[in-house]
Amino acid sequence: MTGIAAKRKRLVTVFVSLFLTAGSLLANPTAAAQPGASGNALAGLSIEELLDIAVYSREPLGLHHTHPQGEWMFGYSYMFMSMDGNRDGSSRRSPADVLNAGFAVSPTAMIMKMHMLELMYGLREDLTVMVMLPYLSISMDHINGADTRFKTAASGVSDLSVTALYNIYDKRRRRVHLTAGLMLPTGSIKERGTTPLGPDQKLPYPMQLGSGTFDPVVGITYVATETIWSWGFHLSHTYRLGENSEDYTLGNRKRFDAWLVREWSGQLSSTLRLSGENWGNIDGADPELNPSMVPTADPARRGGKRLDLGIGINFYMPEGVLSGSRVVLELTYPIVESLDGPQLAKEYDLNVGLQWVF
């Protein structure tokens, strides 16, 4: 079994374990209930309390809803994404394949870590504003034709986003809201590092921390909630406006999410999510980058599309110091991926988050 296949097998095992854990709690519901509570943790809750649980514990991480007027929500999330090996279209490509295609260097793996801070506030019952600030740490492994291996790295603040969420329908446990936001170019697009060519070399496109342009984001979200089930979908489109200071524009990005949530108790739910993305190649080119040196420096090899499967667990805390908060764990794995490569392929990502309403 190859290293990649072994990792995939371990990931599938984790996926299954997440649902088995939730299933065992369902089989023994008193394990999740407080002492003295009935076996069904939802049985003693009022309709209002059930709806509160639906609002605060059910939607997967990264998806948002409007808040009542005057209510705040603070969130922190951490994402660890692993990319391993190259793909051209849907086919795998070895480092030797990449080098034989005429490139001097082949990327072999990448790790991206993201810390995300978010703050939401309900301006009105139907209007919420949100600010999100990510911090990225990126490292990429390479090999060249002389069999020399080296690593490049970059870290710093990425692009700040400001978003408004507006409810257009909210009746009978069905909600629809629109989102409109703007990503501000606060992330660096001038990251440099040391390579076999020497120090202070301009790093390729995926090692940069931002887009360098003002990018509008629009979307729509639908959520349906029942006593122990909820489901929904989200569509969004990121537009890249203009050309940045390095003479290029990242490709537009389309995304959809569809999810199903099962409530196991008043404090525990599990999520199943499908996420699809389609992103374009780069328009223009950074004059400091040589597209024949490494595929990551070629603006015509940055587009692609992918369908991910995510399984997660939400822990909701209705009482105590962190009353109204939830802790979320989600593991995501690509089930379909096609890249304008050769380009590094996604292996998996792990997301952990805390959201606190006050």
Domains of the chain with bracketed CATH:
3-31+39-357 (2.40.160.40)
Q: Is the pLDDT of residue 50 over 70?
A: no
- 220 or 55: which leads in pLDDT: 220
**How much of the chain, in percent, has pLDDT values that exceed 70?**
84
Band (8; pLDDT cuts 50, 70, 90): low
**Among residues 309, 304, 351, which one has the least CA distance to residue 334?**
309
Band (177; pLDDT cuts 50, 70, 90): very high
- The per-residue pLDDT of the chain, averaged, comes to 88
**Token pair in block for residue 300:** 């015509």
Average pLDDT over residues 277-290: 98
| 300-318 burial code (b ≥16 CB/10 A, e <16) | ebbbbebebebbbbbebbb
Q: Tell me: the pLDDT tens digits for 291-312?
A: 999 999 999 999 999 999 999 9
Q: Quote the pLDDT of residue 35.
A: 34
| 213-237 burial code (b ≥16 CB/10 A, e <16) | bebebebebebebeebebbbebbbe
Q: Tell me: the pLDDT tens digits for 312-332?
A: 999 988 887 777 789 999 999
Q: Is the pLDDT of residue 9 over 70?
A: no
